[in-house]
Chain A
Amino acid sequence: MARTLKLRIWRGDDKTGGLQDVTVEANHGEVVLDIIHRVQATQMGDLAVRWNCKAGKCGSCSMEINGKPRLACMTQVASYPEDEVITITPLRAFPVIKDLVTDVSFNYKKAMEIPAVVMPEGMKPGEPRMQQVDVERSQEFRKCIECFLCQNTCHVIRDHEENKKSFSGPRFFIRIAELDMHPLDMLRNRKKTAQEEHGLGFCNITKCCTEVCPEHIKITDNAIIPMKERVADEKYDPVRWLGSKIRRREEVL
């Protein structure tokens, strides 16, 4: 069952580094993260990699495998042909700390810039009533495991450090969409700020983010496009937005 695997793993830090060739055994059913752990335990004790759950639930083990942004714990070795050399590199959109570990603090800064949910005034714990169909839209976005693969793949920032300042990225577009569609959230103008403060306008709907999302969140179709469309609406008719919110608020009370 075992097979011998040839890997090229990027080793280095923010200053120097390069690909190193490694040969290692792989067993039936193993994922790339298993292989990295074997390399760590037997050949490179100090090989740096992030991981937690090994079940696709925490979004820690993001890296690029043969150039594709992926979760290493959900990538079967068997999905690569026997003779193929598997190349493992850190996420490209973020600065390398060491080996496969990158500095993803950009994402935490962007999270801080999105205002939190604002509950209807006077609403008490236990009071909210919401229908399943109404929470489902936001629930889709709350599936996000913050692996930041979408951020890594988005061409707006992947090779354009200069855009990071004004572009929050797909992960945070779905966060804004989630709050905007949240049946209880009372903060207005979420879509407008997505456009004006978070750089929604930079997005030209290439859908690359949706393609890499391990949670299969339809980032473009369900979050970005509706926000872009309604941003256009709102610019002309803010009253309509207010109307829809108030109606929804009545429904939930």
Chain B
Amino acid sequence: MTLEKHKYDVVIIGAGGAGLRAAVEAREAGLSVAIVCKSLFGKAHTVMAEGGAAASMGNVNDNDNWMVHFRDTMRGGKFLNHYRMAELHAKEAPDRIWELEMWGALFDRTNEGKISQRNFGGHEYPRLAHVGDRTGLELIRTMQQRIVALQQQDAKEHGDAEKNMKVFAEVTITEILKENGKIAGAYGYRRESGSEVLFQAPAVVIATGGVGKTFKITSNSWEGTGDGHALALKAGANLVDMEFLQFHPTGMVWPLSVKGILVTESVRGEGGILTNSLGERFMFKYIPDVFIDKYADNEAEADRWYEDQDNNRRPPELLPRDEVARAINSEVKAGRGTEHGGVFLDVSKRLSAEVIKKRLPSMWHQFYELAGVDITKEPMEVGPTCHYVMGGVEVEPDSAAAVGVPGLFAAGEVAGGMHGSNRLGGNSLTDLLVFGRRAGKGAADYVKANGANPVSDAAIEKAAAKIEAPFTSTGGENAYTLHQELQEITHNLVGIIRTGAELTEAIEKIADIRKRSGNISVTGDRKFNPGFHLAFDLDNMLLVAESTAKSALLREESRGGHTRDDFPGMNSTWRQVNHISSFDGDKVSIKSQPLPVLPKELFDLFDVHELEKYMTSAEIAKGGSN
């Protein structure tokens, strides 16, 4: 078989919100772009996002602005965020949303005809632009149609729609290629035929999304296998803070087959309340000290907030996700859970059936069709589900360039730093747009300055040999079985509550599975063969799991999406530390690196008394860097 070869200026791995936004930017900068994705065009995981996209447009409450958004993001992340990413995100998010509207998106409207914004956990003002509860679909369809629009222009001007930008759907990238220490391209296979594809390009943007499938109970689609995290590690880039995983507090818990599927936070944003099996509205018991002045400690005030947000504190159901997830976990552990091990979430008491169906149409649908529950009349049963990875590729905030690998860029969920130890709902969709655009621009600038970097035959042969391996192996291991074993380990030992002993055990067990995965044999041939596909996905998940478990073992505190039973409190000294994962071809190792210090002008945006809750007295005395 002759090898399929392509030459582009930029190869973008991933067709979710981040990848597509990067593609548009690089293309508009005059470069040729390949977009590569594992699924059909328009199906990426972004399509599942429900609640909305956070941007301080101030359409509903004009007190909102980028500084308030920045503060909320830093608080949500427990101040472990890379401040520069949080700053850029807060400043640029409104422009990115308005731009979508110019490309045809139709968001829900306010009475004045502006883009409507809804409340969400951790956001001080109504901030999430949304379309019912299918915002991700609107985002991805708009981007998809923007790409088509640019291709139509090329068709008109050059007679070839795919002259400057082409989508390679159902292609999996297995390796990022380098020559002379710089990016030279990417290598992979077509899922349909199993045949191999070479992309030669001096710049590669990784936009592969999350890692949820490493866990047993997750809201993520099958694509969330951490490919980009692993590809980056193997290409010599670093991952930052992989211990931080977001367990979304409300996933479905019953029936078993839908366990983990997301119940959007908008249910709580629209007034849904959480109760345990005793009928107690338990969240009032779980308001942490750092949030005491922002959240109501009694039902009357919490209820008033829906009518009058200026004079009441918000209901504790809207605390950041890590808090709510831990609270639910505690209630269930204390024996106050529902029959199927969750708690109740009820929106039927506050809203009429008509309003529920209008504002939460896909939730209604999802429960009615999959669980036989009518949420306009009955409560839902919910519990935590692995949802989002805060950790990811270490990047330069302004250009999204991966630290240490010239020509490599990363954006979206696969990039680390932006969300610190915990992401606020709605901040991902705008993160995709803000940093997707920056990655596209970063890649374009890089290519203009550096030019082509040809791939050597040796590199091609090496990449090809790896793809063939599972077919020639006679080891007899089954990829499906190993995947299930890995999911049990991560679920039981690296889950929502962790201990040093369990993490140590997990690290050993993951290493063992990794060894066995070298013996995976695949049945059937190369043509659309899911067993073969899984063999590669599994290799990536194993690296991610190793990085997560090792980082988690080192961090001896509890913060955001990392809770240690043996180190329950947050510790200001640990806040100054990022964990950097790197890979030597054999194992992942972790080193500590100082967190970039908040510059004075951003430091001054906060009340010092608030910062005292997070920072050491030395840091407070210094008052930020200059």
Q: Taking beta carbons and an 8 Å cutoff, which residues of A are in contact with B?
A: 13, 27-31, 34, 40-42, 45-60, 74, 76, 97-99, 101, 104, 108, 111-112, 115-117, 119, 123, 125-126, 128-132, 135, 138-139, 142-146, 179, 182, 184-185, 252
Kindly report which residue of chain A lies nearest to residue B153, judged by CB atoms. Answer: A116
A-B contact pairs, 26 of them (CB 8 A): A27-B257, A28-B255, A29-B256, A45-B479, A46-B531, A52-B43, A52-B45, A52-B222, A54-B258, A55-B261, A56-B366, A58-B221, A104-B40, A111-B148, A117-B104, A117-B145, A129-B113, A129-B114, A135-B109, A143-B137, A144-B141, A145-B137, A146-B43, A182-B106, A185-B104, A252-B113
What's the Cα separation between A34 and B113 when bound, in Å?
43
Within the complex, the shortest CB–CB distance from B142 to chain A, in Å, comes to: 9
Q: Which residues 358-373 of B sit at the A interface, judged by CB distance below 8 A?
A: 362, 365-366, 369-371
Q: Which residues 129-163 of B sit at the A interface, judged by CB distance below 8 A?
A: 131-132, 134, 137-138, 141, 145-146, 148-149, 151-152, 155, 161
CB contacts (< 8 Å) of B57 on chain A: these are 126
Range of interface residues on B (Cβ < 8 Å): 35 or more
B593 within 8 A of A: no
Are the CB atoms of B40 and A60 closer together than 8 Å? yes
Contact of B257 among A34, A48, A56, A108 (CB under 8 A): A34
What's the Cα separation between A176 and B118 when bound, in Å?
30
Are the CB atoms of B221 and A45 closer together than 8 Å? no
What's the Cα separation between A239 and B177 when bound, in Å?
59
* Interface residue SS majority, chain A: loop
Are the CB atoms of B530 and A130 closer together than 8 Å? no
Q: Which residues 37-51 of B sit at the A interface, judged by CB distance below 8 A?
A: 39-45, 47-48
Are the CB atoms of A55 and B48 closer together than 8 Å? yes
Give 11 A-B pairs besides A52-B222, A139-B132, A145-B47 with Cβ atoms closer than 8 angstroms: A29-B254, A46-B524, A53-B45, A55-B262, A56-B365, A74-B370, A117-B145, A129-B114, A132-B116, A145-B137, A252-B113
Contact of B109 among A51, A74, A123, A130 (CB under 8 A): A130
Are the CB atoms of B161 and A112 closer together than 8 Å? yes
Kindly report which residue of chain A lies nearest to residue B161, judged by CB atoms. Answer: A112
Are the CB atoms of B106 and A138 closer together than 8 Å? yes
What's the Cα separation between A60 and B43 when bound, in Å?
7
B291 within 8 A of A: no
Most buried by B among A28, A57, A119, A179: A57
Are the CB atoms of A53 and B527 closer together than 8 Å? no
Q: Taking beta carbons and an 8 Å cutoff, which residues of B are in contact with A?
A: 39-45, 47-48, 57, 94-95, 98-99, 101-104, 106-109, 112-114, 116, 131-132, 134, 137-138, 141, 145-146, 148-149, 151-152, 155, 161, 192, 221-223, 254-258, 261-262, 362, 365-366, 369-371, 478-481, 522-525, 527-532
Kindly report which residue of chain B lies nearest to residue A27, judged by CB atoms. Answer: B256
Kindly report which residue of chain B lies nearest to residue A103, judged by CB atoms. Answer: B192
CB contacts (< 8 Å) of A130 on chain B: these are 106, 109, 113
CB contacts (< 8 Å) of B131 on chain A: these are 139, 142
What's the Cα separation between A139 and B138 when bound, in Å?
9
Q: A40-B530, A125-B99, A182-B106 are in contact. Are A45 and B43 (CB under 8 A)?
A: no
Most buried by B among A115, A116, A182, A185: A116
What's the Cα separation between A38 and B503 when bound, in Å?
30
What's the Cα separation between A116 and B255 when bound, in Å?
42
Are the CB atoms of A46 and B532 closer together than 8 Å? yes
CB contacts (< 8 Å) of A55 on chain B: these are 48, 258, 261-262, 366, 370
Kindly report which residue of chain B lies nearest to residue A179, judged by CB atoms. Answer: B104
CB contacts (< 8 Å) of B366 on chain A: these are 55-56
Kindly report which residue of chain B lies nearest to residue A28, judged by CB atoms. Answer: B255
What's the Cα separation between A50 and B370 when bound, in Å?
20
Question: 10 tightest A-B contacts by CB?
Answer: A29-B255, A46-B524, A129-B113, A116-B149, A125-B98, A45-B531, A117-B104, A48-B528, A41-B480, A52-B221
Contact of A51 among B48, B132, B222 (CB under 8 A): B222
What's the Cα separation between A31 and B261 when bound, in Å?
13
What's the Cα separation between A117 and B480 when bound, in Å?
45
Are the CB atoms of B478 and A45 closer together than 8 Å? yes
What's the Cα separation between A57 and B42 when bound, in Å?
11
CB contacts (< 8 Å) of B155 on chain A: these are 112
Q: A40-B530, A46-B529, A54-B221 are in contact. Are A112 and B152 (CB under 8 A)?
A: yes
Within the complex, the shortest CB–CB distance from B143 to chain A, in Å, comes to: 12
Are the CB atoms of A135 and B525 closer together than 8 Å? no
Q: A45-B531, A143-B137 are in contact. Are A116 and B104 (CB under 8 A)?
A: yes
Contact of A97 among B192, B362, B365 (CB under 8 A): B192
CB contacts (< 8 Å) of A58 on chain B: these are 39, 43, 47-48, 221
What's the Cα separation between A23 and B462 when bound, in Å?
42
CB contacts (< 8 Å) of A29 on chain B: these are 254-258, 370-371
CB contacts (< 8 Å) of A27 on chain B: these are 255-257
CB contacts (< 8 Å) of B362 on chain A: these are 56-57
CB contacts (< 8 Å) of A101 on chain B: these are 192, 528
CB contacts (< 8 Å) of A53 on chain B: these are 45, 47-48, 221
What's the Cα separation between A57 and B136 when bound, in Å?
10
CB contacts (< 8 Å) of A31 on chain B: these are 257-258, 370
Q: A30-B255, A58-B221, A111-B148 are in contact. Are A40 and B480 (CB under 8 A)?
A: yes
CB contacts (< 8 Å) of B47 on chain A: these are 52-53, 57-58, 145
Contact of B106 among A98, A99, A135 (CB under 8 A): A135
CB contacts (< 8 Å) of A252 on chain B: these are 113
Within the complex, the shortest CB–CB distance from A51 to chain B, in Å, comes to: 7
CB contacts (< 8 Å) of B98 on chain A: these are 125-126
CB contacts (< 8 Å) of A132 on chain B: these are 108-109, 116
What's the Cα separation between A42 and B48 when bound, in Å?
28
CB contacts (< 8 Å) of B148 on chain A: these are 111-112, 116
Are the CB atoms of A125 and B531 closer together than 8 Å? no
Q: A60-B40, A104-B40 are in contact. Are A52 and B137 (CB under 8 A)?
A: no
Q: A29-B256, A129-B114, A130-B113 are in contact. Are A97 and B141 (CB under 8 A)?
A: no
What's the Cα separation between A30 and B258 when bound, in Å?
8
What's the Cα separation between A89 and B370 when bound, in Å?
22
Are the CB atoms of B40 and A50 closer together than 8 Å? yes
Within the complex, the shortest CB–CB distance from A33 to chain B, in Å, comes to: 9
Are the CB atoms of A46 and B48 closer together than 8 Å? no
Are the CB atoms of A129 and B255 closer together than 8 Å? no
What's the Cα separation between A143 and B138 when bound, in Å?
8
Are the CB atoms of B99 and A45 closer together than 8 Å? no
CB contacts (< 8 Å) of B99 on chain A: these are 125
What's the Cα separation between A237 and B357 when bound, in Å?
40
CB contacts (< 8 Å) of A112 on chain B: these are 148, 151-152, 155, 161
What's the Cα separation between A104 and B148 when bound, in Å?
17
Contact of B530 among A28, A34, A45, A59 (CB under 8 A): A45
What's the Cα separation between A59 and B140 when bound, in Å?
13
What's the Cα separation between A50 and B533 when bound, in Å?
12
CB contacts (< 8 Å) of B113 on chain A: these are 128-131, 252
Within the complex, the shortest CB–CB distance from A48 to chain B, in Å, comes to: 4
CB contacts (< 8 Å) of B478 on chain A: these are 45
What's the Cα separation between A112 and B192 when bound, in Å?
22
What's the Cα separation between A40 and B113 when bound, in Å?
50
Kindly report which residue of chain A lies nearest to residue B479, judged by CB atoms. Answer: A45
CB contacts (< 8 Å) of B41 on chain A: these are 108
CB contacts (< 8 Å) of A76 on chain B: these are 369-370
